[in-house]
Structure 1
């Protein structure tokens, strides 16, 4: 269990670093179709298209690893 937690932690750190470096090139979180509403001092942001893209990519990766 401990080895699995270390591996998951390292993978999350790598994903975080890549997200920061590639965030300038790939506009995840700012895609067309992401919802953003602002009314006075209240704002609401829901990255629905970003969630769909991430879901598709993860589904493809998990299906590749399953084989």
Structure 2
């Protein structure tokens, strides 16, 4: 990958991080359901906590897949 390609990738990553930060800042209180979906595994004992957000990861994976497919469809 040449320098132009690396620069574009860094710009896109920065834009995604910026958008994620804005969404969390302004809509963080409305996103409490994220991570508490049915299917997320949560085990709590006296001295032990285990949390695996299976359904949340699956949802984010599907969303990321759709974004990548649209990106490729636009032929970037």
TM superposition score normalised by structure 2: 0.71
Q: Which moved more, 1:37-46 or 1:23-32?
A: 23-32
Unpaired runs of at least 5, structure 2:
1-5
What residue in structure 1 maps to residue 3 of structure 2? none
TM superposition score normalised by structure 1: 0.78
For the residue of structure 2 that corresponds to 1:36, the secondary structure is: strand
Aligned CA distance change for structure 1 residues 64 and 6 (closer, same or farther; 3 Å): closer
What residue in structure 2 maps to residue 14 of structure 1? 19
Greater relative contact order (Cα < 8 A, sep 6+)? 1
The structure whose Rg is larger is 2
Structure with the higher strand share, 1 or 2: 1
Q: Deviations over 1:29-53 (max 9, x none)?
A: 1111111101112101110000000
Structure with the higher helix share, 1 or 2: 2
